[in-house]
Amino acid sequence: MSDKQNVRIVIEHKCEQLTNVNHPPTFKGGPEIADKKFLSFLFLLTLFGLLSCSSDKENSSKKVFNINLDQGVTSLDPAFARNNNNIWCDNMLFNGLLQLSDSLKAVPSIAQSFNLSNDGLIYTFHLRNDVYFHDNEHFANGKGRKVVAADFVYSFNRIIDPKVASSGSWIFNDKVSEKVPFEALNDSTFRVNLKKPFPAFPSLLTGQYCVVVPHEVAEFYGKDFRNHPVGTGPFKFKYWKEGEIMVFLKNEKYFEKDGNTQLPFLDAVKITFIADKQTAFMEFIKHNLDFFNNIDGSYRDDILTKSGKLQEKYRGKFVLLKGPYLNTEYIGMLVDSNMAIVKNSPFKDKRFRQAINYAIDRNQMVKYLRNSIGTPAYQGFIPKGMPGFDEKKVTGYSFNPEKSKQLLAQMGYPNGKDLPEITLHTTTTYRDLIEFVQGQLSDVGIKTKVEVQPGASLREMISKNGINFFRGSWSADFPDAENYLSVFYSKNYVPIGPNYTNFKNKKFDELFEKSYYETNDSIRFDLYHQMDNLVMKEAPVVVLFYDQLVNMYQNNITGYHINALNLLNLKRVQKN
Amino acid sequence: MFPYILNKSFYGLLVMLGIVVVVFFLFNILPADPARMTMGQRSDVQSLEAVRKELGLDKPMPVQFALFLNDVSPIGLHGTDSVSRAKYHYQQLFKVGKDEAIVLKWPYLRRSYQTKKEVSEILRETIPNTLILAVTAMVFASVIGIALGVVSAIKKDSWIDKASIGFSIIGISAPSFFAGIIIAWLFGFVLSDYTGLNMSGSLHNYDPFKGEVLTLKNLWLPMITLGLRPLAIIVQLTRSSMLDVLAMDYIRTARAKGLSNYSVVLKHALRNALNPVVTAISGWFASLIAGSFFIEYIFGYNGLGKATVDALGLADFPVVMGSILFCGFIFVVLNILVDVLYGVLDPRVRVR
């Protein structure tokens, strides 16, 4: 600033002061009123401060584990354990016959042991006799009674009862005998009669649909059992203000022990429902949450480097744990050439579907769009982490744009000339991923339009075979590859089951049916590999990547283990 | 007067019926299957059929519509068995046939498809939260806005005036979802050690060992965010209308009579200057209830807007219908009240 300017400003300032002196404010009372307003403003601020100071510090000797479930919980009734958050809560409140170990094996829970008849049809479970329901007014004297085999008969029948309309009835529907599916031989012996062998049945039973509920309480509340749950789990239900807060307390009478110490270690679990993930992450940084699991696209870069490491600024502040997650992200293509939308599109040709598969660089995708969360998929539909997964036994598609162009040329579309435009459908959440795919496809000459739809209508279109090219993901309901391969079994065609690509292959069906009668795991896994290879060759899907779990927890938390099914297990967790 | 109100109420009922018809048919042409939305990724036909039956979606559309109307109508035809009694909590008017009756009841809004919770209960839980948020935001905006407006009018062209005009321009131009994130981050995260505020949270908190606590402090940030835009507009409105009024003859007269400045400004000028402000406030209030969704979402505040939008995404028809009907009802009642008020104030309206 020049001296001249400086002088001018000083003069102007002086002038202002002078004018103020010469012309006092028009209204004498002006400042007085302003003062009053200012005072009331101060008063408001003080009130603000007072209210803010009302502390909500917790009882420090008690260990409360704080988590946030951004998706919300729709029901605590295990008959509706259809999404992750419901499952997590049910896993704290209830127990089934069997449970999953960290390595995804079915291990004893309420059943001490079980045996299978030689024909593979009858499972007999021997129950513990020290398992009690949580205390509740609907039991005699309000004390939780002992769990007996008849309780499992009731609970399992409840799942297949059409009046209950459980979202889990598929678990038993086509598997158990129609006459007497479930029997209680005595108080401690429970039996399941199958229609046909199903070697993965023990795995299936570890799911939250198959837990035990007391008929007294479930019948009394009916539909409202959803917010009056009573189980046997490590925690018991205490409070739920929906959409705001949920509290579970330690079950003092829980039957599982860690050595000689009674589980669980925590005194309570407090759950909040902040929908905005970024806000939830900040609450985690502020130590208001002990655990955080959902890294969203919008701030992934803030937390992780492109190679998937924790950013410098967060290192040492909390623990980051990564592990495989049984979830396959893929793009589905309708393959049934009898359908009009396939017949009139290039999707009817296997070579076209293979060309799409070769055109996508999955390494780049996972590294730059996912900050290396996930494993690029060069194998089959069955994801990494699934028992029996072997990256050497199944071959998928590598990134090979030349090969892709070659295939297109063979079809009569050199460099994509005359190739009709295809439309890829997705939801907003996956938009970046799908636009990346769009770019990669255009590099080899495949023109793609991206259509973003709301989740509900996309789901409806897919399950009615209304579109021929869509993004999807498939996560394991139970840790057996049957779960993944059933997506290609021809008898599961839409609308009967989840075969959304309308894949039909005689050889595949034979192998699939054969696997039901194979109890030897390694032989069965071999069948699974054969089927997976077959699917890959026919290419009804583009497998993009196998998902990964990223869990973060505070430094004072111990005893937390990650498992590939993404099941939150808090009974051995300690807060120091 | 009475026939007039009756007449208006009848029209109100027709409007509600119109809402039911429109929302019902819009939902039916949406390409989304509510039954499928209640299932996990894996389902089979048997389970899907069971769910359809349970939700009443297996019946033909006209039947579904008739049944729905019967449920929401305050006068309906229901069975006299104990299940229906427990479901509808009705007052029997007279019997029809052997085991049915024409009854008087509160509209039955059914249960959410997604959660199986009674819709009336969802409304009961979320409406008070939204109302509290809207009312406090409006009070905050009016009190601070009028105060700042008055001060900047009487101290025209001073720094207070300039600051408050600048502030109100920022307030008007910042969209609430943007302002919400900034405010949450600044006061709830960066400065949280000083303010003691949370970034998010609802009115209710629960200490696992002490029980329910009301956390009013969680109202501060959403309230300020929601009140920011109306506040900015109220400042501007108050200021300009105050300047107009202060230039009028009767103010000079009041001053000439030797009244104190305090009574000239607050008693004579402000009263008249507030007219347009009050009109604006009442208009804003309605839109605050509807417009609080983003705020509710960002601050994790459990209100009606959030519940409705969540339900829309999941094709949860009963919840959406329930909340639209509720809003419709409020508007109908307000309209009737305003009409009646006009009638009282201006007899010519009634004569027509």
Name residue A269's amino acid: V
Q: How far is B274 from chain A (nearest CA, A)?
A: 17
CA–CA gap between residue A236 and residue A218 (Å, rounded): 15
Ranking A45-54, A366-375, A511-520, B335-344 by mean pLDDT, the lowest is A45-54
- Nearest by CB to residue B50, choosing from A75, A162, A238, is A162
Residue A499 lies in a domain: yes
A364 and A421 belong to one structural domain: yes
Domain boundary among A230, A263, A292: A230
Query: Which pLDDT band, with edges at 50, 70 and 90, does A122 fall under?
Result: very high
Asked if residue A150 and residue A52 are part of one domain, the reply reads no
Q: What are B37-69's pLDDT values in tens digits?
A: 888 777 788 888 888 888 888 889 899 999 999
Residues A452-474 have a mean pLDDT of: 91
**pLDDT score recorded for residue B199:** 77
Q: What is the CATH number of the domain that holds A371?
A: 3.10.105.10
- B285 with B333, same domain? yes
Residue A104 falls within a domain, yes or no? yes
B132 with B84, same domain: the answer is no
Residue B348 predicted with pLDDT over 60: yes
pLDDT at residue A26, rounded to an integer: 38
Compute the average pLDDT of residues A243-264: 93
Residue A475 inside a domain? The answer is yes
* Span A533-543, average pLDDT: 96
CA proximity to A452, closest of A440, A464, A465, A438: A438
CB contact under 8 A, B200 and A274: yes
Q: Supply the Cα-derived Rg of chain B in whole angstroms.
A: 26
Overall domain count for chain A: 3
Cross-strand partners of B224: none
Q: Answer whether B185 touches A (CB < 8 Å).
A: yes
pTM for this model (two decimals): 0.86
Identify the residue with better confidence: A373 or B328: A373
**pLDDT score for B296:** 85
Q: Which residues of B touch A170 (CB under 8 A)?
A: 42-44, 46-47
Residue A361 in any domain: the answer is: yes
- The torsion angles phi and psi of A95, rounded to 5 degrees, stand at -135, 150
User: Are residue A122 and residue A219 in the same domain, yes or no?
Assistant: yes
Residues of A in contact with B265 (CB under 8 A): 27, 29, 33
* Same domain for A124 and A40: no
Question: Are A410 and A465 members of one domain?
Answer: yes
- Put simply, the chain B residues between 203 and 222 with a CB less than 8 A from any chain A CB are 203-210, 212-213, 215-217, 220
Mean pLDDT of all residues in A470-488: 93
Mean pLDDT (whole number) for B251-264: 88
Considering only the beta carbons, identify the residue of A56, A80, A282 that sits closest to B215. A56
pLDDT score recorded for residue B196: 81
Mean pLDDT, chain A, integer: 88
**pLDDT confidence bin for A9, thresholds 50/70/90:** very low
Among B186, B152, B185, residue whose Cα is nearest residue B169:
B152
In A, minimum Cα distance to B266 occurs at A33
Give strand pairing partners of A50: none
Q: Is the peptide bond before A495 cis (omega within 30 degrees of 0)?
A: yes
Q: Which residue has the higher pLDDT, B331 or B211?
A: B211
In Å, how far from its chain's centre is CA B195? 28
Which amino acid appears at position B255 of this protein?
R
* Helix (H) or strand (E) run with residue B120 in it: helix B119-154
Q: Of all helices (H) and strands (E), which one includes residue B332? A: helix B317-345
In a domain, A252, yes or no: no
Using the 3D structure, point to which of A178, A201, A230 is the last residue of a domain.
A230
Crossing angle for the helix pair B159-173 and B220-246, nearest 10 degrees?
A: 130
Q: Which of residues 135-164 of A touch B (CB under 8 A)?
A: 162-163
Q: How far is A555 from chain B (nearest CA, A)?
A: 20
What are the two backbone dihedrals, phi and then psi, of residue A476, each rounded to the nearest 5 degrees? -70, 130
**Which of chain B's residues have a Cβ under 8 Å away from the Cβ of A33?**
150-151, 154, 261-262, 265-266
Question: What percentage of chain A has pLDDT greater than the value 70?
Answer: 90
Question: pLDDT digit string (tens) for B86-122?
Answer: 888 888 888 888 888 999 998 999 999 999 999 999 9
pLDDT band at residue A36, thresholds of 50, 70 and 90? low
Cα–Cα distance for residue pair A73/A88, rounded to 1 Å = 9
Q: How confident is the model at residue A401 (pLDDT cuts 50, 70, 90)?
A: very high
Residues B82, B148 within the same domain:
no
Measured distance between the N- and C-terminal CA atoms of chain B, rounded to whole angstroms: 12
At A60 the pLDDT is 66
Name the phi and psi angles at A189, rounded to 5.
Answer: -125, 125
Structure tokens at A42: 């101060």
Give residue B229's pLDDT band: very low, low, confident or very high (50, 70, 90): confident
Alpha-carbon span A292 to A47, nearest angstrom = 34
Identity of the amino acid at B142: S
Mutate to test the interface with B, among A40, A71, A74 (most CBs of B within 10 A): A74
CB-nearest to A279 from B53, B116, B298 is: B298
Say yes or no to pLDDT of B258 above 60.
yes
- Find out whether the peptide bond into A376 is cis, omega within 30 degrees of 0: no
What was the pLDDT predicted at A277?
85
Instruction: State whether B155 and B10 are in the same domain.
Output: no
Model pLDDT, residue A342: 92
* Residue B171 located in a structural domain: yes
Least confident of A162-176, A288-302, B87-101, B191-205: B191-205
Quote the pLDDT of residue B271.
Answer: 81
Kindly tell me if the per-residue pLDDT of A535 is higher than 90: yes
d(CA A360, CA A351): 15
Asked if A383 and A510 sit in the same domain, the reply is yes
Residue B186 maps to a domain: yes
Is A66 inside any structural domain?
Answer: no
In this prediction, residues A57-69 reach a mean pLDDT of 81
**Which chain B residues are Cβ-neighbours of A276 within 8 angstroms?**
200, 297-298, 300
Predicted confidence band of residue A49 (pLDDT cuts 50, 70, 90): very low
HEC states along B75-106?
Answer: EEEEECCHHHHHHHCCEEEEEECCCEEEEECC
Gap from B100 CA to chain A (nearest CA, Å): 23
Cα–Cα distance, B303 to B305 (Å, whole number): 6
> What is the pLDDT averaged over residues A86-110?
95
**Domains: count for chain B:** 3
Predicted confidence band of residue A268 (pLDDT cuts 50, 70, 90) = very high
pLDDT at A564: 92
One domain, residues B151 and B299: yes
Task: Give contacts of B239 with chain A, Cβ < 8 Å.
Answer: none
The mean pLDDT of A490-517, rounded to a whole number, is 92
| A2 pLDDT more than 50 | no
The reply to whether residue B47 touches residue A173, judged by beta carbons under 8 angstroms, is: yes
Q: What percent of chain A has a predicted confidence (pLDDT) above 90? A: 75
Shared-domain flag, residues B212 and B274: yes
DSSP track, A159-175: HH-TTTT-TTTHHHHTT
Q: Are residues B233 and B342 in the same domain?
A: yes
| Same domain for B325 and B246 | yes
Give the C-alpha distances (Å, rounded to integers) separating A425 from A204, A360, A433, A463, A545. Answer: 32, 17, 12, 13, 18
Q: Do B48 and A495 touch (CB under 8 A)?
A: yes
HSE-up of residue A320 (Cα within 13 Å, Cβ side): 18
The rounded distance, in Å, linking the Cα atoms of A175 and A86 is 24
The answer to whether the beta carbons of residues A395 and A534 sit under 8 Å apart is: no
Chain B residues 109-128 within an 8 A CB cutoff of chain A: 111, 114-117, 122, 125-126
Q: Are residues A385 and A425 in the same domain?
A: yes
Give the minimum alpha-carbon distance from A185 to chain B in angstroms, rounded to a whole number.
29
Residue A42 has pLDDT above 80, yes or no: no
Return the number of other C-beta atoms located less than 10 Å from residue A116's C-beta.
17
**pLDDT on residue A55:** 43
* CB-based contact A564:A385 (threshold 8 Å): yes
Whether the per-residue pLDDT at B8 is higher than 90: the answer is no
Give the rounded percent of residues in chain B with a pLDDT score beyond 70.
Answer: 95
Does A96 reside within a domain? yes
Beta strands in A364-412 (DSSP E): 375-376
Q: B242: exposed, middle or buried (C-beta count within 10 Å: 0-12, 13-18, 19+)? A: buried
What is the residue-wise DSSP string for A63-111? -EEEEE-TT------GGG--SHHHHHHHHHH--BSEEE-TTS-EEESSE
Q: Give A12's pLDDT tier (boundaries 50, 70, 90).
A: very low
State the best of B28, B39, B82, B312 to mutate against chain A, taking most chain A CBs within 10 Å: B39
- What is the predicted pLDDT for the residue at A527? 96
Residue of A496 and A151 predicted with greater confidence: A151
Mean pLDDT confidence for A214-222: 95
Q: What is the pLDDT of residue A63?
A: 94
Is residue A3 predicted with pLDDT exceeding 80?
no
Collapse the DSSP code of B29 into the 3-class scheme (helix H, G, I; strand E, B; otherwise coil) and give the result: helix
Looking at the predicted structure, is the pLDDT value of residue A521 above 60? yes
Do B33 and B89 fall into the same domain? no
Residue owning tokens 């982490």: A385
DSSP, collapsed to helix, strand or coil, labels residue A264 as coil
Half-sphere exposure of B116 (CA within 13 A, CB side): 25
B26 and B148: one domain?
A: no
Residues A35 and A139 in one domain: no
The residue that leads in pLDDT, B292 or B234, is B234
User: Is A53 a residue whose pLDDT tops 50?
Assistant: no
Please check the confidence at residue A28 and state whether its pLDDT lies above 80: no
Q: What is the domain range of residue B248?
A: 119-349
Rg for chain A, CA atoms, rounded = 30
Angle made by CA atoms B30, A159, A131, in degrees to the nearest 5: 140
* pLDDT at A230 (0 to 100): 97
Domain housing A31: 1-61
- Tell me B199's DSSP state: S
Tokens of B146: 């009028």
Q: Percentage of chain B surpassing pLDDT 90?
A: 18
Same domain, A492 and A459: yes
Shortest distance, CA B48 to any CA of chain A (angstroms): 8
Mean pLDDT, chain B, rounded, equals 85
Lowest mean pLDDT among A404-418, A435-449, B109-123, B199-213: B199-213
Residues A84 and A54 in one domain: no
Residue B315 has pLDDT above 90, yes or no: no
Query: What's the CA gap between A552 and A280, in Å, rounded?
Result: 12
Closest CA to A75 of B323, B111, B320, B33: B111
Q: Decide which of B76 and A52 is more confident.
A: B76
Query: What's the CATH number where B211 sits?
Result: 1.10.3720.10
pLDDT digits (tens, 9 = 90+) for A329-348: 999 999 999 999 999 999 99
Assess B68–A contact: CB distance below 8 Å, yes or no. no
The answer to whether residues A226 and A339 belong to one domain is: no
Residue A45 predicted with pLDDT over 70: no
A3 or B255: which leads in pLDDT: B255
Q: Min CA distance, B8 vs chain A (Å)?
A: 37
Using alpha carbons, select from A491, A386, A515 the residue that is nearest to residue A120: A515
Is the pLDDT assigned to residue A27 strictly greater than 80? no
Pair A121, A3 in one domain: no
- List the alpha helices (DSSP H) in A161-298: 170-173, 201-205, 215-221, 277-285
* Residue A70, in any domain of the structure: no
Which residues of B fall within a CB distance of 8 Å from A41? 144, 147
**Amino acid B238: pLDDT:** 92
